[in-house]
Structure 1
Amino acid sequence: MAKTGKPTTEAQVLKYFQQLDHPLAEVAEALRKVILAADPTIGEHIKWNSPAFYYTGPMKAFDPKEYKRDLVVFNLHKKDAVLLVFPTGAKVNDPSGILEGTFPDGRKTAKFTHMDEVKKQEKDLQTVVKAWLALVEK
């Protein structure tokens, strides 16, 4: 707990996963670990009612609506897949093709339906995360 009596962001995320009632909860938890292991500057919190990951280091000033600090957000609305939404994913060079979609707002997604996909694409996901971090305006 933080000094304010509110749970820390990590505690909020852990509570979210403890209470997660989703057929692919194990997949979501594995993806969380992969993302956090990619770089020590990645933090996590609950944003848009879902686990989300962001860059924790110093940055140049920017409009918060540009989502420059936001790396990826879980979308767990479908029961047959875990969707990772990268709000600014279109800016990332992704030779692996793990990022999909052509959204006008510049987001990209990565879809996982079972643990084998997580294991098979772990390195590609971490490469995308690192490529995104390299674009952060520090």
Structure 2
Amino acid sequence: MPKNTLTPQQQVTEHIQKIDPSIRDVIEMLRQIILGTSSEIAEQIKWNNPSFYYTGEMAPFDPKEYKRDIIVMNLYKKRIMLVFPSGAKINDTSGLLEGDYKDGRRLAIFKDMADVKAKADALQYVIKQWLSLMYK
């Protein structure tokens, strides 16, 4: 099926199927946790990786500000990083988010399935914190 006829969800599924088998299940688990956090989260391929964004109502903004983007996966060399482009705005008391980048992004790093399971609640907490900023 040509790429342009696939839905964004099908494109993400197809992308994940091509990922190294050693981390594929971990990626799929993260995907389910993220999508399961809120019905206002959708997925697409952005910057050549699965990404997740807010689908609810928002005031107009400059698209270069990436205000809709919640998480973009970075799956380079079997490393599993979730990049939160505006993660600095989140009051993360869980300790999940790492880094102190000037552009405001923060990272969540996962080593394996056990790490995902251990951090699942913290991940959902951080996403809910991010979503709460959208309603203000």
Q: Do the structures match in fold with TM over 0.5? A: yes
- Give the alignment's TM-score, normalised by structure 2: 0.93
Deviation beyond 6 Å, 4+ runs, structure 1:
none
Is the partner of 2:26 in helix, strand or coil?
helix
Structure number with higher relative contact order (C-alpha < 8 Å, ≥ 6 residues apart): 1
Structure 1 unmatched runs, 5+:
none
* 1:13-92 equivalence runs, <5 A: 13-21=12-20, 23-79=22-78, 81-92=79-90
Question: What is the root-mean-square deviation in Å for CA atoms of aligned residues?
Answer: 1.5
User: 8 Å contact 1:60–1:137 — kept in the other structure?
Assistant: no
User: Could you tell me how far apart the structure 2 residues matched to 1:44 and 1:82 are?
Assistant: 17
Distance in 1, Cα, partners of 2:76 & 2:14: 18
Correspondent of 1:118 among 91, 116, 119: 116
**With structure 1 as the length reference, what TM-score do the two structures score?**
0.92
Corresponding residue to 2:104 among 97, 103, 106: 106
**1:23 positional shift:** 2.6
Counterpart amino acid of 1:111?
A: I
- Deviation readout 1:72-126 (Å, 9 max, x if unpaired): 01000032x3000000000001001100001010000000001111111101000
Which structure is higher in helix share?
2
Q: Distance in 2 between matches of 1:86 and 1:46?
A: 15
Distance in 2 (alpha carbons) for counterparts of 1:26 and 1:55:
24
